[in-house]
Structures are given as structure tokens and as C-alpha cells.
Amino acid sequence: MLRKRFAVLSLILIIGLLLSGCNYQIQRMTPTVDPGVMQATVNAAVAQVVQATAYSLTSTAAAMPTSTSTTTATLEPTATATATATATPEPTATATATVAIPTATNTYIPPTQKPAATATPVNYLCSLVSVSPASGTKMSTGADYDASWKVRNTGSKDWQVGYVDLVYVSGTKMQTKGDIFDVNVALARGAETTVAIDMLAPASAGKYTDTFQLVMEGTVMCVLPVTIEAVAP
């Protein structure tokens, strides 16, 4: 670019010199030339030179490469600090309770004396003294026999005639005349009596029990069972 500028300046100087020489020769050869005309000629030449120079400079500037250099700032990577705090759990205090266990002391406690039971007198009561046939007596199947019970009046009142009944309650019915029998007897306190009814052994071999009760005015005074073993003849 400096060389081009130098060449343009050199050209201007050369033209200037040429014009000066021409002017000198013209003045010598034709001294009668009008100075105004000469000045106009010089001005026109200078204008052409200036125009040529300007054009040269414009062409040079257009030919100059456009700077496309782009400076890109590269950002430094940002350091990211990651702090990880790990909390260490403190050990849990364990409270240990110490319980004092008292020593057992054997203390003798005397037994409480229970009062002696006093029997309440019952108006109507009896106890079984004996039974016939005796429990487990063997007899032939279908045999006819009498069952009897000896009882004692252990109540606080005497038995009145027509108020005592012998009532069937459970077991094999071996009686031959119903389930309720009248006991027409008067019995004083502490006295004994015998109650009997007709029985019939079962037709099949085996052990059998028949149970009755003595009842006085709706009160059960005692239980009277009879047990036999029927055997084939």
C-alpha cells in the first residue's frame, strides 16, 4: 500500500515538473499567450491528476481485504463447588433404670379359724339306711321282685299321713304300677320306716338302675336308687 502511495506522489511531481517545463518553454516560444488561458489549462491538468489520484486511492481501498478477524472471548469454565455435608448422628444415650427388688421375707400368717358350720334344721329330710335287693344283685331276666328302702326321718318335723310320695325320676323303669306312689305312714323325727314297691327284671341280660325320690309337700327329702344285674336262666 505504501508503494502505491509513493507511485502516485511521484506521478504528481513528474506532471508538475512537466507542466512547469512546458510553461517555461511556452513563455519563451510564445510570450504572447494569454496568462488566463494558461492558468485554466494548468488547473484542468491538476484536476485530472487529482481525480486520477482519488480514483487510485478509492480502488486501492476497495481492493484492500476486509478484516474479518473476530476475537471471541473464551469464557473460562466456572468452577462449581459442591459441598456435601454428611451429618454423623450422635449416639443416643440409653437410660438404664436400676430397679431395686426388695428381698422377700417369709412372714408366717396363722390360718384363720373358720367358724364351725351350724346345721340349719330342715323341716322335711330323710336318709337312706338300706336297700333291697342290694346293689348289683343278680336275678333271672324277667323275674318278679320287690324293691324296698329303709329310711330315717332326719328332719325337724314329723311326717303326716297322706303327704309323702315316692316319685320315679330316672333310669330303667322296672316298676310295674306307675311312676308315683303314696306313702301312707306317719313317721316321727328320728324314726325309721320301710317303703316297698313291686318290680320286674328286664327281659334282656345286663345291669339296670331305677331311681326314685321321697317328696314331702314339694320338698325332696332323699333319693332312693335300686340296681340289679339281669342274667339269662
Q: What is the pLDDT of residue 6?
A: 63
Residue 77 within a domain: no
Mean pLDDT of the chain: 76
Residue 157 within a domain: yes
Q: Are 109 and 201 in contact (CB under 8 A)?
A: no
Residue 146 within a domain: yes
pLDDT tens digit string along 40-50? Answer: 766 776 677 66
In a shared domain, residues 45 and 138: no
Q: What is the pLDDT of residue 118?
A: 53
Residue % of the chain over a pLDDT of 90: 44
What average pLDDT does this structure show over 178-194?
94
Q: Which of 6-10, 57-61, 116-120, 201-205 has the highest mean pLDDT?
A: 201-205
In a shared domain, residues 144 and 49: no
Q: Please give the residue that has the higher pLDDT: either 179 or 93.
A: 179
Residue 79 within a domain: no
Number of domains present in the structure of the chain: 2
Residue 168 within a domain: yes
What average pLDDT does this structure show over 120-148?
93
Residue at which a domain ends, from 57, 80, 104: 57
Q: What is the pLDDT of residue 79?
A: 45
Q: What is the pLDDT of residue 228?
A: 97
Range of the domain at 154: 126-231
Residue 174 within a domain: yes
pLDDT higher than 70, residue 121: no
What average pLDDT does this structure show over 216-223?
92
What average pLDDT does this structure show over 56-69?
51
Residue 111 within a domain: no
Q: What is the pLDDT of residue 81?
A: 44
Which CATH number does the domain housing residue 214 bear? 2.60.40.10
Q: Please give the residue that has the higher pLDDT: either 75 or 138.
A: 138
Residue at which a domain ends, from 13, 36, 57: 57
What average pLDDT does this structure show over 112-140?
83
In a shared domain, residues 131 and 53: no
Residue 201 within a domain: yes
Query: Which of 72-81, 89-98, 222-231 shows the lowest mean pLDDT across its residues?
Result: 72-81
Q: What is the pLDDT of residue 100?
A: 58
Residue at which a domain ends, from 36, 57, 78: 57
What average pLDDT does this structure show over 76-105?
52
Q: Please give the residue that has the higher pLDDT: either 174 or 39.
A: 174
In a shared domain, residues 219 and 134: yes
Q: Please give the residue that has the higher pLDDT: either 71 or 17.
A: 17
In a shared domain, residues 141 and 219: yes
What average pLDDT does this structure show over 59-70?
48
Phi/psi class of residue 139: alpha, beta or left (left: φ > 0; alpha: ψ in -120 to 50)? beta
